[in-house]
Amino acid sequence: MECDHSEVIHFQPLHLDNTVALTVDVEDYFMSPECIPVETWPDFPPAIHTGMERCLNLFEKYNAKGTFFFVAWLAERYPEIVEWTVEAGHEIGTHTYDHTFLTELGEKEFADKIERSLNILRSLAPSQAIVGHRAPAFSLERRKKWQFDILRENGILYDSSISPHQTYLYGDKYAPRFPYRLHGLVEIPPATIQFPGKRLPVGGGGTLRILPEMYLTRARKRYQYEGFPPVIYIHPWEFVPEHPKTALPLKLSLIHWCGIKSTERKIESILRENNIITMKNYYDHLLDPCR
């Protein structure tokens, strides 16, 4: 009988002790605030090389391999940052071409951006099968099957774009908290923990910078106890607290800068205390738990 791709299929817990999927969304500091238009990006001095060097050096210190989701606009201009990442043994994934939220794109626009991104990344990392995707601002939508279809048609096997934690900018509070298959694609969401009537992030990006380390450690352990490695995400610019200041509205400025000097310390704690796997490793374990 043919599988109904619209059905949510849950995976069995893996119970991989003290394991984290540590991911990096490769963006520069002027890419995340939604108020800075793409056409102005060339006007900003880049901090991506410093951020990538510091991030890669920290992974190397602990002999850890992660997944780096590249905005291909950066990869196209600075192919060396992809080469450094491949040479260090990390997995390459796509973060689309120019970080435009998927909520702003129709089918053809999304297909064009995904194809352009993958063409660039696959040309720079020919030794890898690039099979992972993360949407800008976690903007993939469960109800839009066509988004999943486009990803599958371009060779994507897993996605990590549907955050079960609702914020002012993104999130789907009704989405499953643990990995599942939907519309023929494996979804591996960023980690959240559940309290009565409320979900809280395990920590990634701004929440990792803002939340206290004691909470972050306990949240990771609680998620691991439930049977799955937590997916945590960071950005290279968060390793560069001295990067240039930009004119942002107060709310966005607070979110962008708050806790930035704690990033490296908190990530080092994760690397020191956990086994780190790539998202492709995670995907393989879900499909074959006996690996």
Q: Give the model confidence (pLDDT) of 126-184 as tens digits.
A: 999 999 999 999 999 999 999 999 999 999 999 999 999 988 778 899 999 999 999 99
Q: Is the pLDDT of residue 124 over 50?
A: yes
pLDDT for the residue 168: 78
Q: Is the pLDDT of residue 100 over 70?
A: yes
Backbone angles phi, psi at 19, to 5 degrees: -120, 140
Rounded mean pLDDT, 9-23: 96
Burial of residue 185 (CB within 10 Å: 0-12, 13-18, 19+) is buried
Neighbours of 92 (CB within 10 A): 25
Query: CB–CB of 223/14 below 8 Å?
Result: no
Q: Is the pLDDT of residue 32 over 90?
A: no
Structure tokens at 119: 């063409």
Please, what is the average pLDDT of the chain? 95
Q: Using pLDDT thresholds of 50, 70 and 90, give the confidence band for residue 1.
A: very low
Backbone angles phi, psi at 260, to 5 degrees: -65, -30
pLDDT for the residue 2: 39
CATH fold of 9-287: TIM Barrel (3.20.20)
- pTM for this structure? 0.96
pLDDT for the residue 234: 98
Q: Is the pLDDT of residue 38 over 90?
A: yes
Q: Using pLDDT thresholds of 50, 70 and 90, give the confidence band for residue 289.
A: confident
Q: Give the model confidence (pLDDT) of 236-286 as tens digits.
A: 999 999 999 998 999 899 999 999 999 999 999 999 999 999 999 999 999
- Dihedral, CA of residue 254, residue 258, residue 172 and residue 191, to nearest 10: 180
Structure tokens at 220: 């990771």
Of 130 and 291, the structure prediction assigns the larger pLDDT to: 130
Query: CB–CB of 7/263 below 8 Å?
Result: no
pLDDT for the residue 167: 84
- Domain boundaries in the chain? 9-287
* Triad 11, 143, 100: Cα angle to 5°: 105
Q: Is the pLDDT of residue 69 over 60?
A: yes
Q: Give the model confidence (pLDDT) of 182-231 as tens digits.
A: 999 999 999 999 999 899 999 999 999 999 999 999 999 999 999 999 99
